[in-house]
Amino acid sequence: MDIAHGEMVEKELDTMMVRRAKKAEKTQSREELWKAQRAGRRASTSCTCGKVSHKHREEETRSLIDTIGRTRVEQEADKA
């Protein structure tokens, strides 16, 4: 009886750990998207830097989007 109970508890813990890992991935993805959206908004609003061209903001946004893409590719590779 104790062995069966121990196996049942272990299975439940494994299930909980998988759920928690999936939730953490979703949270991280949401945070990355929020950062990219925020950077995009900053790039589209008026800049107080005094420059005529706002390429520095565009480059920052592209860099963030590239980082998000690389992170997602790494996460998919880790899952495999």
Torsion over CA: 57, 63, 69, 72 (sign): negative
Is residue 35 within 8 Å of residue 25, measured between CB atoms? no
pTM above 0.75, yes or no: no
DSSP one-letter string for 38-59: HHHHHHHSPPSS--S--HHHHH
In the chain, what are the domain boundaries?
A: 2-79
Please indicate whether residue 27 or residue 13 has the higher confidence score (pLDDT).
13
Q: What is the mean pLDDT of residues 50-75?
A: 75
- Residue 47 makes CB contacts below 8 A (sequence gap 6+) with 54, 57
C-alpha count within 13 angstroms, C-beta hemisphere, residue 34? 6
Q: Assign 48 a pLDDT band (cuts: 50, 70, 90).
A: low
Q: What is the mean pLDDT of residues 30-51?
A: 68
Q: What is the mean pLDDT of residues 30-48?
A: 69
Is pLDDT at 66 greater than 80 in this prediction? yes
Report how far residue 54's alpha carbon sits from residue 1's, in angstroms, rounded to the nearest whole number: 70
